[in-house]
Amino acid sequence: MIPACLSDDWILCPEREDISAEFTRLLTAAQEGGATIAECLMIARQLKRGDEQSWHREWKKLARVNRHRAEAAFAEGHMATAQRNWLRAMNYYSAAAMPLDPADERRWVAVLAMQDCARRSLATRGPAGEVVTVPWVEGHSLQGYFLPAPSANGRAPTVICIGEPGHRKEEFLFKLAPHARERGFSMLALDLLGDQRDDYTDMLLQRRDLESSIASVMDYLETRSDVDFDRVAIVADGWGSSFVARAVLQEPRLAAAVCDGGLWDLHERSFFASRFAMSDLSIVPVPHSPLMASSVDFPVLITLGEDGWLKADRARQIVQKSRLGSSDIVLKVFTAAETGAAQAHADNPSLANEYIFDWLETQLGATGRRI
């Protein structure tokens, strides 16, 4: 039975949009093994209205239960159960950290516990995953999890998965890794934070060269003997910035890309131009969209939900005008009737990721890179 505190559309706390969005994320994570619906509903019943600390306290408690269950299963040689419980514990620690201020020491403790669970889960895979460091700029490196393809024989097509500045990579271990594995891909899950605390996001957002991180990642992958470097794609998970889309224009070594295509940059340019009545968009301090370039050397997929921040009709218009005759830019709009229509497909990420990885399978399959 759904607890009374839940209203329509899985809104847990109408007065706290962030908490409601996080609870929706946890429920949808159950589809991919990042949670269980029963545990999520149990926590919903235990949360105390007016007690903002109860969210952190209850999810941390649940994370510990799953963590201890994983350790017991691992000790007894039950790798599959250990992996499932570590992934759930990892996600619950992430939930516990979410509402806390970045300067709150409890947030950092939860992040460290989340990362420990992620790393422990890598050892239960076959073949095992590994933690990797990718040099980027002086004084700061990227950190990632490399998950080899299930065959682990020879070079495999590889998918880079990265989120927006401030987003942590651990979620990809249950959200995207199964889709990559089922299609014979290796996967490199990354974030821009590296080993820094969450308040480092402010520093990242001040940088004007975030897209240079992707070139560094490609340099790293080129050194690996288990990566088919002619079949490397990138998936930018989520919206809010177009640094991956800008990298797409500068990185000819990619074979395919899934990103916002620069639509968010164009949306910001339009907003600033209308707000300040600027007729010359070139003076608006927002980067140009890669879709405005004359050509892209590889296929690009853009997905969005019709109920998201950017209206679907507007996105179609932008893509149509910006393609300049190219057939390699594909726009997929998920409708409310099929679900996946929310911003960043938050209502059904599984459906969107199935579509995305099927598309990637077409691009990176037997035919390899398009010529």
Q: List per-block mean pLDDT (blocks of 10 residues) for the chain, which spans 371 residues.
A: 42 73 93 96 87 91 98 97 98 96 95 98 95 95 96 89 94 97 96 94 91 97 96 87 85 93 69 51 45 66 88 79 66 93 89 96 68 34
- Token pair, residue 286, equals 């927002």
Name the phi and psi angles at 162, rounded to 5. Answer: -145, 145
- Which residues are registered as beta bridge partners of 237? 163
Q: What is the pLDDT of residue 312?
A: 83
Residue 180 CA to residue 195 CA, distance in Å, equals 25
Amino acid identity at 268: E
Q: What is the pLDDT of residue 180?
A: 96
Q: What is the pLDDT of residue 260?
A: 86
Question: Mapped to the 3 state alphabet, what secondary structure does the chain carry?
Answer: CCCCCCCHHHCCCCCCHHHHHHHHHHHHHHHHCCCCHHHHHHHHHHCCCCCCHHHHHHHHHHHHHHHHHHHHHHHCCCHHHHHHHHHHHHHHHHHHHCCCCCCCHHHHHHHHHHHHHHHHHHCCCCCCCEEEEEEEECCEEEEEEEECCCCCCCCEEEEEEEECCCCCHHHHHHHCHHHHHHCCCEEEEEECCCCCCHHHHHHHHCCCCCCHHHHHHHHHHHCCCCEEEEEEEEEEECCCCCHHHHHHHHCCCCCEEECCCCHHHHHHHHHHHHHCCCCCHHHCCCCCCHHHCCCCCCCEEEEEECCCCCCHHHHHHHHHHHCCCCCCEEEEEECCCCCCCCHHHCCCHHHHHHHHHHHHHHHHCCCCCCC
- Token pair, residue 3, equals 């607890």
Q: What is the pLDDT of residue 88?
A: 98
Q: What is the pLDDT of residue 54?
A: 92
The pTM of the full predicted model, rounded to 2 decimals, is 0.89
